[in-house]
Amino acid sequence: MKRKKLTAILMTAALAGVMVFGCGSNSADEENTKNTSADAQDEEKEEPVELLIAAAASLEYSYEDELIPMFEEENPGITVKGTYDSSGKLQTQIEEGIEADVFMSAATKQMNVLSEESLVDKDSVVNLLENKIVLITSVDSGLELSDFTDITKAETIAIGDPASVPVGQYSEEALTNLGLWEEVSAKASLGTNVTEVLNWVAEGSADAGIVYATDAATTDKVKVVAEAPADSLTEPAIYPVGVVTASANKEAAQKFVEFLQSEEAIKVFEEYGFIQYNE
C-alpha cells in the first residue's frame, strides 16, 4: 500500500514538472515571437532621408509652394530641400561636388553635359516641361511695345547672361535669328539668373527684358508684351530632370523624379504656366 502511494506521489510530481516546463516554454516562445516581430517592424521602418534638389531659378515658386510639401506629405520619411539658381551655375556646382540628389535644368544643354560626364544618370533623365520666352516691361511702363521685335525701342534692356543662364541663351538665339542681337546686346545688362532679370524690369532698373512666361506670371509688377516668335528658336525651352550619379539616396531621388511626372505634379506645373513636354 505504501509502495502504491509513493508511486502515485512520484507520478504527480513528474506531471507537475512537465506542466511547469511546458508553461515556461510557451512563455519563452511567446516572448521570442514578440521580440522577432518587433525587430521586423523596426527593420521595416525606413531611415529618414533628406534630398537636395538643384533646380533652375524659374522652378522655385512651384517647388516651394506646392510640389515639395505635396511630396513630403506622401513620403513622410523623406525631407526635401531645394537650391535654386541658373542652370549653368548649378551645373558647375554639381561638377565641383555639391551633394545634390536631383538636378532639374531650364535647358537640355546643361543636362546633356552632366550626362556625358557621368555626373547624372543618363537613364534617369526625362524631358519634363516646356516654357515660353517672353518680352516684358514694367506694368506702368510708358513704352509703346506690341511685338517681340519692339525690344529695340527700349533704352535699357535686361537679359540673362548667355554664358550661364538658359533664358539668356534662348534670348541670344532668338534675337540673333531676328537680326537684332548686336543692337540689343549693346544696351543690355546681363543677369546672373532669370529672377534677377525679372526684378530689374519690375523695379524699373531696365525698360524691358526677356524672361520665361512662368516668371512673368509670378508678379503683378510686369506685363508681357509678346512671346518670342516660334521660328526664332531651334527648339523650345525644355526642362529635363534626372538623378545625380553621386547621390547617396538614389531610391528616394528616383521616387522624387517619378513624382514630378505624376498627373498631380503636372497639374501644379501647369498652374504655374509650364507646359508638359511632348516630343
Closest among 25, 14, 93 to 55, alpha carbons compared: 93
Which residue matches cell numbers 538665339?
173
DSSP string, 168-225: HHHHHHHHHHTT-HHHHHTTEEEESSHHHHHHHHHHTSSSEEEEEHHHHTT-TTEEEE
| 257 annotated binding-site participant | no
3 state DSSP class of 48: coil
Q: What is the rounded distance in angstroms from the CA atom of residue 212 to the CA atom of residue 265? A: 20
Closest among 6, 70, 17 to 263, alpha carbons compared: 70
| 58 annotated binding-site participant | yes
| 87 annotated binding-site participant | yes
Q: Count CB-CB contacts under 10 A for residue 82.
A: 18
Q: What is the rounded distance in angstroms from the CA atom of residue 149 to the CA atom of residue 26? A: 87
**Contacts with 92 (C-beta within 8 Å, 6 or more apart), sequence order:** 164
The amino acid present at 265, given as its one-letter code, is A
**Binding-site annotation, residues:** 58, 87, 194, 212
Residues placed in the known binding site for molybdate: 58, 87, 194, 212
